[in-house]
Structure 1
Amino acid sequence: MKYLNSDILREIGSLSRCIHSISDLKFKEINLQKGQFTFLTRICENQGINQIDLSNLLKVDKTTTTKAIQKLIEAGYIVKNRDEVDKRMWRLYPKEKALEIYKFIIEEENRNIEVCFNDFSAEEKEIVNKLVKKMRENIENGWKEIKNF
């Protein structure tokens, strides 16, 4: 039987699932379904983004993005407008309702960050941030190859 060289990815996965579970419960009260808050925050932060770029930003497939976008439109959080130059492309914009709850979502994310970094020094926080970012950059290269970028 082979053994893992490190359990770091399992730890990161557990961390991510815990945060998503907490967030999904918190955001249920504002009519956001599972994981939709990630789509909503990125649209608020990147107004006018198209669905392909949103998929790439979140590292999800186009089908997942399409379903999430449709649900956010139906819930009255975002609007999809045809691009003025390239009529084949659609741009995503937050509605006022989305911008209002964006603040609430960010407050919740900041609370999760505080909990995760409890008893960490400023230096430790910076080191963790740099190392995890480096890990993401490393694996992103493999992801881009698989996705044919």
Structure 2
Amino acid sequence: MADILREIGMIARALDSISNVEFQQYDLTKGQYLYLARICEHPGIIQEQLSKLIMVDRTTVIRAVQRLVDHQFVEKRPDTTNKKIRRLYPTERARLVYQRTIAEEAYSTRTALSGMTPDQVDQLTTLLHQARLNVTADWDRVKHGAHRDY
């Protein structure tokens, strides 16, 4: 079988490493820019939804969000109907950094897709989307206690 997941992993790790260096100037470390971007895109999101959106466990989200709160990128506000629920909102500081994350993502996308035809880009997008759906279903089952049968 082809080493597709290794290739995807190398791309993801390289881009993540670059982003970690570039966003260090904003006091964002270890992928926190991703949490910040999703909160900016989904103001009022709760941590459980953020966990599913990024596909990481709740404990990881809790730590990352707390760091964003501590550095004044995110505010936690109580839900209007259920006071136990805390909704996440970007601060003005977060919105400014978010503009940089959009620019970085666009640059990285152009770099990654350089030399590909529009048809190839469409095909790659379709195939990667299907692969993500497959993995998401597996991830969800494992998160709910199932074991994969190798």
Structure 1 residue corresponding to 2:70, chosen from 61, 69, 74: 74
Distance (whole Å) between structure 2 residues aligned to residue 144 and residue 33 of structure 1: 27
Structure 2 residue corresponding to 1:63, chosen from 59, 63, 72: 59
TM-score normalised by the chain length of structure 2: 0.94
Give 1:31 deviation, angstroms.
1.1
Match of 1:90 in 2: 86
Give 1:143 deviation, angstroms.
1.2
Q: How many residue pairs align between the two structures?
A: 145
Structure 1 residue corresponding to 2:23, chosen from 14, 22, 27: 27
Percent identity of equivalent pairs: 36
Residue type of the alignment partner of 1:33: T
Q: Secondary structure at the match of 1:68?
A: helix
Match of 2:148 in 1: none
Residue type of the alignment partner of 1:34: K
Match of 1:111 in 2: 107
Q: Report whether the alignment pairs 1:47 with 2:80.
A: no
1:79-99: CA deviation from partner (whole Å, max 9, x where unpaired): 001111111111000001101
Match of 1:130 in 2: 126
1:117-148: CA deviation from partner (whole Å, max 9, x where unpaired): 01011111111011000000011111111123
Structure 1 residue corresponding to 2:32, chosen from 16, 31, 36: 36
Distance (whole Å) between structure 2 residues aligned to residue 62 and residue 31 of structure 1: 22
Give structure 1 regions of 4+ aligned residues with deviation exceeding 6 angstroms: none
Distance (whole Å) between structure 2 residues aligned to residue 41 and residue 130 of structure 1: 23
Q: Which runs of 5+ in 1 are unaligned?
A: none
Match of 1:17 in 2: 13
Q: Secondary structure at the match of 2:89?
A: strand
Distance (whole Å) between structure 2 residues aligned to residue 85 and residue 27 of structure 1: 36
Give 1:64 deviation, angstroms.
0.5
Residue type of the alignment partner of 1:103: Q
Give the alignment's Cα RMSD to 1 decimal: 1.1
Q: Secondary structure at the match of 1:92?
A: strand
Residue type of the alignment partner of 2:109: I
Residue type of the alignment partner of 1:79: E
Match of 1:139 in 2: 135
Q: Which runs of 5+ in 2 are unaligned?
A: 146-150
TM-score normalised by the chain length of structure 1: 0.94
